[in-house]
Amino acid sequence: MTTASTEPTVLIVGAGPAGLFAACELVRHGVRPRLVEQRSAPHREARGTALQPAVLEMLARAGLVEPFLEAGVHIKHIQLLGPGLREIASEHFAGTGSPYEFQCSLPQWRTEAILRTHLADQGLDVEFGTEVASVEDSADGLRVTLTRGDKSEVVPAAYVLGAGGGHSVTRHSMHEHLAGETYDGRYYVADARIGLACPSECARLIVGPTAFVLLSPLPDDRWLIFVNRDESDVGDRAPTEAELASLLDARTDAVVALHDLRWVSPFKMHKRLATRLADGRRFLLGDAAHLSSPLGGEGLNAALMDAADIAWKLGLVLRGAATPPLLDSYAVERGLADQHVLKVSDEVHAMVTGLVATCRGGGFPEVPVGTPQQNVMSSRRRLMLDVSYAGSVLVGPQAGDRFAAGHRLDGVGHHLIVSAKTAGLDRLRARWHGMLSIVDPAKEGFAGAVPDRAAILVRPDGFIGFREVIREGLAIDALDAHLSSYLVPAGGTSS
Ligand SMILES: Cc1cc2nc3c(=O)[nH]c(=O)nc-3n(C[C@H](O)[C@H](O)[C@H](O)COP(=O)(O)OP(=O)(O)OC[C@H]3O[C@@H](n4cnc5c(N)ncnc54)[C@H](O)[C@@H]3O)c2cc1C
C-alpha cells in the first residue's frame, strides 16, 4: 500500500450520470476533480432515458445541450391507452413555459458518452478500473482508499462526492441508509425495436387487467420498454427475446412485435431517500441519495440536478469566494427537491397501478379531465419545471423558484436583473466585482420576465435567490446583506 503526499481536493466516486455531470460542472466552475469508476469500461445500457426540460435548461447553461438535442428523440406528448389500445388520455407538453417543451430521450450510455467526451475535451479523463474501497475521517480531512487490480492507495481528499449509485460506499461511510420503501411487483426494462405503429415523438403507456407497458421512443427507431412480470416468475434470469415478445403481446392484448433486443434487465422500483445527504465533507448525489419510481422519469434528472447544485457551491468555496457553510445548503436544497421528486414520481406510480386495478375489476379506466390551466400545472410538475428551493436558508422571501429566462444568462456568477436607473448599483458592482453581473431588463430583453421596479437575483444555477421591489435603495441594501450571508466580497471579508 502506498500513501500519496499531494492529491486533488475533490474526489468523485463513480462515473455514472451524477459523477460525470458533477465533474463537468466543477471544471466549468474552475475546480479539477479526480473522477474514479470501478467498471473497467463504459456500459451500453439504456436505463434512464428521458431528460426533462428543466434539465435541458441546466445543460444549456453548462454549454452542453446541443449534443443532447441532436442525439435524442424529442418526446412532445404522452398517450395513455387502455384495453384494446383505446385512448384514456393524452398529455401534450406545449405551453409549459420552457424553451424545451419536450423530453429529450436517449439511452443512458449515450448520455454518459456525451458527458465523458465533454470532460475529455477539457482534459479530464475518467479513471476506469479504480474502486473506492473506503472513505474514512481523519483529523485534516478524508482518507480514501482506492484499489486498482491488486494495488491499493490511500489518498487524502478535502471533499468526496458520493455518486456511486444505490450501493454507495460514501453513504455507508457516513452510516446512512436509504429510508423508504420498495414498490410491490417486479419489472423488466428493455431496449429493443417494435413492430407496433406509434405516433412520432410520443411515448405510450398501456394499461390492462394484468399489467402496464411503457413504450418510450429512443433514437434509431428503438424503444425503451417497461413491463411488469408475474410474481411467479421471480428468478433474476433475463428473459429471452421470444419470452419478452410474448409477454408484451399478452400484457397489451396487441401485436407489439418486439424484436432486435439489445438489452434487458430485471429490476425493482423504490421510493427512498438518504436520511442525511451530506456531512460537510461528503455529499451524496444521484442514486446514492435517492431512488424514485422510473414511471416518474425523474431519477436520472434529479441526479444531474444534484450535481449542478453541489458544483457551483464547491466552486465558490474552493475559490475562497464563499464561506464553507454555503455547502450546508446542499443537503437542505436538494433534500427539498428530492422529496418533491419522490412525491411526484409516487403520484404517477399510484395513478398507473390504480388504472391497472380498475381494468382488473372489469372497468375501463378513466382519468379526471382538468381545466387547461390545471393540465399545464400538472405537466410542469412532471417535467420538473416546478422544482423550487423556496424555504431554503439560502433564498430570500418569495424566492427559490427557477428563473424562467435563466438559460439566457451566461457565465458562472450571480446575475442581478434590475433597472440600470436604480440607486446604489455602483456600490454593489464594486463590492461584488467578478461575482455579480448587473443586467438591465430593458436593454437585455428580459423586460417581460421581470416585474416593474423589481430586483431579481439569479444564482449560478438559474434559481432565484432574492426578489424584492425597489424602494429608496432598501432592496439594494437587503440584497447586499443577502449576498454577504454566503459570499466573500471582492478583496474583503464577509460581513
Ligand atoms: C436496470 C436499471 C434500469 C433502470 N431504468 C431506468 C429507467 O427506465 N428510467 C429512469 O429514470 N431510471 C432508470 N434507472 C435508474 C437510473 O439508471 C439512475 O437513476 C441513474 O443511473 C443514476 O445515476 P447515478 O450516477 O447516480 O448512478 P449510476 O448510474 O448507478 O452510476 C454509479 C457509478 O458509480 C460506480 N461505482 C459504484 N461504486 C463505486 C466505487 N466504490 N468506486 C468507484 N466507482 C463506483 C458504478 O460502477 C457506476 O458506474 C435504471 C437503473 C437500473 C439499474
Give the HSE-up count for residue 71: Cα atoms under 13 Å, Cβ half-sphere: 20
Whether the pLDDT of residue 1 is over 80: the answer is no
Cβ–Cβ under 8 Å, residues 272 and 290: yes
- Note the pLDDT tens digit of each residue in 156-180: 999 999 999 999 999 999 999 999 9
Rg (C-alpha) for the chain, rounded Å, is: 24
Which of 25, 47, 103, 292 has most ligand 1 atoms within 8 Å of CB, for mutation? 47
Rounded distance between C-alpha atoms, residue 42 and residue 109, angstroms? 8
User: How does residue 233 score in pLDDT terms, banded at 50, 70 and 90?
Assistant: low
- Domain range annotation of the chain: 2-73+105-182+271-360, 406-484
Rounded distance between C-alpha atoms, residue 164 and residue 145, angstroms? 15
Which residue has the least CA distance to atom 29 on ligand 1? Answer: 16
Parallel, antiparallel or unpaired: strands 77-81 and 186-193:
unpaired
Atom of ligand 1 nearest to the CA of 286: 26
User: How does residue 235 score in pLDDT terms, banded at 50, 70 and 90?
Assistant: low
How many angstroms separate the alpha carbon of residue 165 from the centre of ligand 1?
5
In this structure, the residues whose C-beta lies within 6 A of any atom of ligand 1 are: 13-19, 36-39, 47-48, 108, 131-132, 163-165, 169, 189, 224, 265, 267, 286-287, 294, 297, 299-300, 303
Fold for the domain defined by 406-484: Glutaredoxin (3.40.30)
Amino acid letter, residue 120 = A
Cβ–Cβ under 8 Å, residues 394 and 461: no
- Residue % of the chain over a pLDDT of 90: 77
**DSSP type of residue 315:** H
Whether the pLDDT of residue 109 is over 60: the answer is yes
Determine which of 99-108, 227-236, 272-281 has the lowest per-residue pLDDT on average. 227-236
- What mean pLDDT comes out for the span 115-126? 98
Fold for the domain defined by 2-73+105-182+271-360: FAD/NAD(P)-binding domain (3.50.50)
- Note the pLDDT tens digit of each residue in 312-368: 999 999 999 999 999 999 999 999 999 999 999 999 999 999 999 898 888 888 888
- Residue % of the chain over a pLDDT of 70: 96
- Note the pLDDT tens digit of each residue in 440-452: 988 888 877 787 7
- Note the pLDDT tens digit of each residue in 37-83: 999 999 999 999 999 999 999 999 999 999 999 999 999 999 999 98
Rounded distance between C-alpha atoms, residue 66 and residue 63, angstroms? 8
Rounded distance between C-alpha atoms, residue 270 and residue 145, angstroms? 30
User: What pLDDT was estimated at residue 495?
Assistant: 45
How many angstroms separate the alpha carbon of residue 276 from the centre of ligand 1?
20
Atom of ligand 1 nearest to the CA of 288: 26
Atom of ligand 1 nearest to the CA of 299: 19
How many angstroms separate the alpha carbon of residue 50 from the centre of ligand 1?
14
Atom of ligand 1 nearest to the CA of 20: 25
Query: What count of residues does the chain have?
Result: 495
- Note the pLDDT tens digit of each residue in 178-194: 999 999 888 999 999 99
How many angstroms separate the alpha carbon of residue 45 from the centre of ligand 1?
10
Q: Which of 106, 109, 111, 74 is nearest to 93 (CA)?
A: 74
How many angstroms separate the alpha carbon of residue 16 from the centre of ligand 1?
6
DSSP states along 203-265: EEEEE-SS-EEEEEEETTTEEEEEEEE-TT----PPPPHHHHHHHHHHHHTS----EEEEEEE
User: CA end-to-end span of the chain, whole Å?
Assistant: 46
How many angstroms separate the alpha carbon of residue 164 from the centre of ligand 1?
7
How many angstroms separate the alpha carbon of residue 83 from the centre of ligand 1?
33
Calculate the alpha carbon distances from 162 to 41, 124, 301, 307, 371 in Å.
19, 18, 16, 10, 43
Q: Is 207 exposed, middle or buried (0-12, 13-18, 19+ CB in 10 A)?
A: buried
How many angstroms separate the alpha carbon of residue 135 from the centre of ligand 1?
20
Atom of ligand 1 nearest to the CA of 289: 26
Whether the pLDDT of residue 8 is over 90: the answer is no
How many angstroms separate the alpha carbon of residue 365 from the centre of ligand 1?
34
Which residue has the least CA distance to atom 15 on ligand 1? Answer: 48
- What mean pLDDT comes out for the span 218-222? 97
Q: What is the pTM of this model?
A: 0.95
Rounded distance between C-alpha atoms, residue 297 and residue 366, angstroms? 22
